[in-house]
């Protein structure tokens, strides 16, 4: 994003909620960026933020290794809001006193508003609101010039300010849903105190991004690996809007895609969006290499390497290429750099890892600063159908890691057909878009059954269906029995070679979402 964009900078002290703060600010239509706490003072000043939020974090300010910032950050004349550890650090650096409290406060608490001038504008003085606390230490003495603007039973300085300097602190977490009016508090900070206006929209992002891509690419050429997933597809459509035929997208059928996937995604990109797409059916090459392979890590490696080979060959036919476009998202970028600092390496996209170096390409990543929800919104703005934008995640190594045993064409077909039935039934019953993932796994065992007068000895399909926010943790879904029954009936009747369906009732952790 260009420097003229009004922005709030969030300095990360290692809180699990840092990304949430950024998302809340953006949901209020103000652009926000996360930076490691140890960003240099000059770089921070160069970002020209309208306001700075200091995140929470697991440290204690008086520890020797505590993450701290330079004191002159507080002298920049830029409004600052410290959250939890961020507030304690503010007190500590400005010569107040922070001390361990004998009672750790964790969970919901009642916050009583004492002053509704600025941070609590729109609240009533004396009003009690629910907030989420999670701290051991707390401010015991405020720095000079500071006063309390809210308190709780356990915490006399639950929200503080130095209004003259525009420095604020809250001991609770306004960014989490357990602080129901937290958004209002954050908006008071970003709009009333920092003076931002709500202009950050995906429409404005698209326009700006198109200009930036044009300026950067000039008359050079770009290739994009389309996986059929949301991020790479939206990236391809956006970049196509910017540079048209200078972009070539490559979509490889690796033989382990879902039923009809290759044709339906290629058709959509070519016919509806007129993307310059090379659709390569390399399924036989992949299947030959995968034949009989049992070890999931081996399957992943084979698929990843062969993808690079196919991609490299296809790109070789296009003449000189300068850029590789990827749908890298903000969480991939900040996960690795934010708290560990600028020296940490950035995670590369698993499907094309190693490609940029091998082919000597510059990366073009228009969504490096965006969250998944924002990419979905862009897709919607660009006219990509809803059912595509909200499709469930699908792993790069595809059906290969859902066959718990050696990959072979017969089992792949069993799995692909069973999976298609599950998708169909979940869609028909209005469940597909409500869950994180719902899919079939083929177990490497045979069980006995009876069909007519015959005993059968056939395969087992496990149905996996989970809800999750980000795939890091997940709960199995309470799918109604009649839907489970219908799916089981259909798979056993329609997929020859399967005589039993079971439902996976394990959560993550300790289980994982995929079985391999
Ligand atoms: P697990 O099984 O680790 O899955 O609980 C978490 C999320 O990651 C997806 N997943 C993968 N995606 N390549 C991918 O692109 C993989 O090898 C892979 N393994 C798991 C999984 O589908 C879930 O959404």
CATH code at 499? 3.30.300.10
Query: Across residues 271-278, what is the average pLDDT?
Result: 96
Catalytic residue among 6, 33, 105, 175: 175
Is omega for the bond preceding 509 within 30 degrees of 0, making it cis?
Answer: yes
149 near 160, Cβ under 8 Å? yes
Atom of ligand 1 nearest to the CA of 508: 5
Tell which one of 328, 393, 510 to mutate to probe ligand 1, the residue whose CB is within 8 A of the most ligand atoms: 393
* Spacing, Cα 396 to ligand 1 middle (Å): 8
- How far apart, in whole angstroms, are the C-alpha atoms of residue 300 and residue 280? 20
- How far apart, in whole angstroms, are the C-alpha atoms of residue 193 and residue 78? 10
Residue 374 three-state SS: helix
Could you tell me if 363 and 486 lie in one domain?
no
CATH code of residue 382:
3.40.50.620
Give domain status of residue 202, yes or no: no
467 pocket-lining for ligand 1 (C-beta < 6 Å)? no
Could you tell me if 348 and 418 lie in one domain?
no
Could you tell me if 435 and 378 lie in one domain?
no
How many domains does the chain divide into?
A: 3
Tell which one of 296, 470, 514, 516 to mutate to probe ligand 1, the residue whose CB is within 8 A of the most ligand atoms: 514
* pLDDT confidence bin for 342, thresholds 50/70/90: very low
Could you tell me if 353 and 415 lie in one domain?
no
Q: Can 84 be counted among the known catalytic residues?
A: yes
Residue nearest (by alpha carbon) to ligand 1 atom 14? 395
> What is the full DSSP assignment across 326-363?
----HHHHHHHHTTT-TTSPPPPPGGGTTHHHHHT-EE
* pLDDT of 251 above 70: yes
Give domain status of residue 452, yes or no: yes
How much is the mean pLDDT over the chain? 93
113 near 129, Cβ under 8 Å? yes
- How far apart, in whole angstroms, are the C-alpha atoms of residue 2 and residue 11? 19
303 pocket-lining for ligand 1 (C-beta < 6 Å)? no
Residue in this structure with the two tokens 């300095």, named with its chain if needed: 11
301 pocket-lining for ligand 1 (C-beta < 6 Å)? no
338 pocket-lining for ligand 1 (C-beta < 6 Å)? no
437 pocket-lining for ligand 1 (C-beta < 6 Å)? yes
224 near 248, Cβ under 8 Å? yes
Give domain status of residue 395, yes or no: no
Give domain status of residue 46, yes or no: yes
Could you tell me if 63 and 151 lie in one domain?
yes
Could you tell me if 238 and 152 lie in one domain?
no
Atom of ligand 1 nearest to the CA of 474: 5
275 near 237, Cβ under 8 Å? yes
* pLDDT confidence bin for 348, thresholds 50/70/90: very low
Q: Which of 356, 389, 422 is the last residue of a domain?
A: 389
* Spacing, Cα 99 to ligand 1 middle (Å): 42
Could you tell me if 60 and 142 lie in one domain?
yes
Atom of ligand 1 nearest to the CA of 396: 15
Q: Can 465 be counted among the known catalytic residues?
A: no
Of 41, 45, 43, 47, residue with least CA distance to 69: 41
More confident residue, 181 or 349: 181
164 near 113, Cβ under 8 Å? no
* pLDDT of 479 above 90: yes
Give domain status of residue 215, yes or no: no
pLDDT digits (tens, 9 = 90+) for 3-53: 468 999 999 999 989 989 999 999 999 999 999 999 999 999 999 999 999
pLDDT digits (tens, 9 = 90+) for 376-388: 999 999 999 998 9
Could you tell me if 327 and 266 lie in one domain?
yes
Give domain status of residue 60, yes or no: yes
* pLDDT of 305 above 80: yes
Could you tell me if 296 and 421 lie in one domain?
no
Catalytic residue among 6, 33, 84, 226: 84
Give domain status of residue 327, yes or no: yes
pLDDT digits (tens, 9 = 90+) for 154-213: 899 999 999 999 999 999 999 998 999 999 999 999 999 999 999 999 999 999 999 999
Q: Which of 175, 193, 211 is the last residue of a domain?
A: 193
Pairing of strands 51-54, 323-325: unpaired
Lowest mean per-residue pLDDT among 308-322, 353-367, 430-444: 353-367
Report the phi/psi class of residue 466: left, alpha or beta, with left for phi > 0 and alpha for psi in -120 to 50.
Answer: beta
Looking at residue 352, what is its pLDDT? 52
Could you tell me if 423 and 356 lie in one domain?
no
Q: Can 349 be counted among the known catalytic residues?
A: no
Residue nearest (by alpha carbon) to ligand 1 atom 9? 395
Could you tell me if 350 and 435 lie in one domain?
no
| Percent of the chain scoring above 70 in pLDDT | 95
| Percent of the chain scoring above 90 in pLDDT | 85
Catalytic residue among 105, 173, 417, 425: 173
* Spacing, Cα 292 to ligand 1 middle (Å): 22
- Strand ranges across the sheet with 167-170: 31-36, 7-12, 51-54, 80-83, 167-170, 155-162, 147-152, 97-113, 128-141
Dihedral sign computed on CA atoms, order 438, 439, 445, 451: positive
* Spacing, Cα 184 to ligand 1 middle (Å): 36
Could you tell me if 415 and 382 lie in one domain?
no
* Spacing, Cα 514 to ligand 1 middle (Å): 6
List the domain range (segments joined by +) for residue 460.
408-503
Give domain status of residue 33, yes or no: yes
CATH code of residue 26:
3.40.50.880
Predicted TM-score of the model (pTM)? 0.83
């Amino acid at each position: 994003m260009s420097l003229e964009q009004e922005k709030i900078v969030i300095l990360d002290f290692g809180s699990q909620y840092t990304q949430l703060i950024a998302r809340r600010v953006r949901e209020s239509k103000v652009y926000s960026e996360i930076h490691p706490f140890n960003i240099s003072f000059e770089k921070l000043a160069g970002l020209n933020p309208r306001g700075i939020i200091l995140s929470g974090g697991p440290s204690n300010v008086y520890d020797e290794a505590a993450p701290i910032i330079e004191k002159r950050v507080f002298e920049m004349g830029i409004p600052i809001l410290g959250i939890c550890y961020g507030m304690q650090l503010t007190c500590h650096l400005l010569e107040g006193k922070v001390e361990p409290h004998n009672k750790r406060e964790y969970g919901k608490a009642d916050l009583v508003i004492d002053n509704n001038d600025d941070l609590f504008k729109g609240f009533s003085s004396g009003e009690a609101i629910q907030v989420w606390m999670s701290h051991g230490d707390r401010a015991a003495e405020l720095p000079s010039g500071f006063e309390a603007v809210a308190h709780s039973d356990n915490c006399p300085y639950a929200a503080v300010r130095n209004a003259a300097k525009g420095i604020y602190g809250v001991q609770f977490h306004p960014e989490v849903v357990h602080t129901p009016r937290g958004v209002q508090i954050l908006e008071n900070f970003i709009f009333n105190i920092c003076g931002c206006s709500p202009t950050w929209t995906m429409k404005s992002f698209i326009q700006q991004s198109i200009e930036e891509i044009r300026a950067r690419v000039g008359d050079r050429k770009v290739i994009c690996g389309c996986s059929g997933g949301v991020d790479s597809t939206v990236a391809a459509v956006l970049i196509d809007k910017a540079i048209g035929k200078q972009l070539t997208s490559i979509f490889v059928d690796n033989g382990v895609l879902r039923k009809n996937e290759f044709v339906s995604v290629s058709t959509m990109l070519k016919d509806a969006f007129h993307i310059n797409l090379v659709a390569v059916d390399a399924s036989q090459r992949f299947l030959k290499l995968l034949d009989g392979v049992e070890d999931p890590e081996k399957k992943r490696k084979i698929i990843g390497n062969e993808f690079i080979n196919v991609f490299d060959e296809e790109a070789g036919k296009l003449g000189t290429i300068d850029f590789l476009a990827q749908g890298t998202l903000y969480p991939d970028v900040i996960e690795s750099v934010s708290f560990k600092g600028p020296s940490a390496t950035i995670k590369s996209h698993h499907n094309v890892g190693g490609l940029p170096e091998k082919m000597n390409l510059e990366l073009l990543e228009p969504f490096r600063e965006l969250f998944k929800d924002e990419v979905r919104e862009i897709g919607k703005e660009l006219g990509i159908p809803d059912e595509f934008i909200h499709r469930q995640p699908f792993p790069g190594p595809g059906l290969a890691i859902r066959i718990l045993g050696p990959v072979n064409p017969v089992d792949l077909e069993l799995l692909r057909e069973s999976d298609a039935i599950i998708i169909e039934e979940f869609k028909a019953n209005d469940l597909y878009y409500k869950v994180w993932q719902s899919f079939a796994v083929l177990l490497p065992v045979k069980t006995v059954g009876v069909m007519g007068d015959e005993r059968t000895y056939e395969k087992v399909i496990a149905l996996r269906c989970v809800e999750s926010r980000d795939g890091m943790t997940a709960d199995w879904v309470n799918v109604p029995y009649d839907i489970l029954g219908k799916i089981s009936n259909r798979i056993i009747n329609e997929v020859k070679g399967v005589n039993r369906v079971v439902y996976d009732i394990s959560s993550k952790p300790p289980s994982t979402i995929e079985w391999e």
